[in-house]
Amino acid sequence: MKFLDCFSGIGGFRLGLEMAGHECIGHIELDKFTRKSYEAIFGKKEGEFIRNDITKITDEEFRKLRGEVNMLVGGFPCQAFSIAGYQRGFEDTRGTLFFDLARAAKQIQPQVLLFENVKNLLSHNEGQTFETILKTLDELGYDVEWQLLNSKNFGVPQSRERVFVVGHLRGAGGRKVFPIRSSSKKNTLGERECTNTITARYGEAQGTGAYIIKSKQKEKK
């Protein structure tokens, strides 16, 4: 699949996806020093879609990628949701960048979305932030699933918990991705907590969910 690498950083998403056989058609990254590192690692091909500021990309520019981009990927800025920050969420301008990612999805209409963020995104603002994200993706026509994963369970010498969100364009097919099981014999993923069988329903969407929906159900009792 051909993918657009949004909020690319130095290319962690790209590295993994290219190792899996996918092709990058361009990237978006604001920080100039990070862009230099990215280009030093991956080079710069003629015709690539390379932009600095996602907020400055017009809808028309995104629409030109329709049919060319099969997958939209991005780790949208997490500082607004991280427990290490002020946790202002969508009140923080960095938090609102998710909606530019959603805008790109609306114009491009890729078959697959792949996003990641910090664990605290699930519980931020008592779950309302994550619920807003789910509703937004549903309104764009995507069925969504998600799972909290920790890198230490997959052969990486680092404990790094991140929530991964996968969206499938409704009606375009696509197999279920989650739950992914740990490659370690000692399974510490906590799948029972983070990838249960509760179904989130927003309009036509049906997505296997995290504990955020379970928490809301408890409040109604």
Active centre residues (catalytic): 78
Pairing between β-strand 2-6 and β-strand 71-74 as defined by DSSP bridges: parallel
Radius of gyration of the chain (CA): 17
DSSP, residue by residue, 130-163: HHHHHHHHHHTTEEEEEEEEEGGGGT-SS--EEE
Task: Tell me if residue 68 falls in helix, strand or coil.
Answer: coil
Structure tokens at 148: 């909290």
Cross-strand pairs, 201: 206
- Assess contact for 146 and 160: CB atoms under 8 A: no
Pairing of strands 205-208, 71-74: unpaired
Q: CA-CA distance, 105 to 165, in Å (whole number)?
A: 14
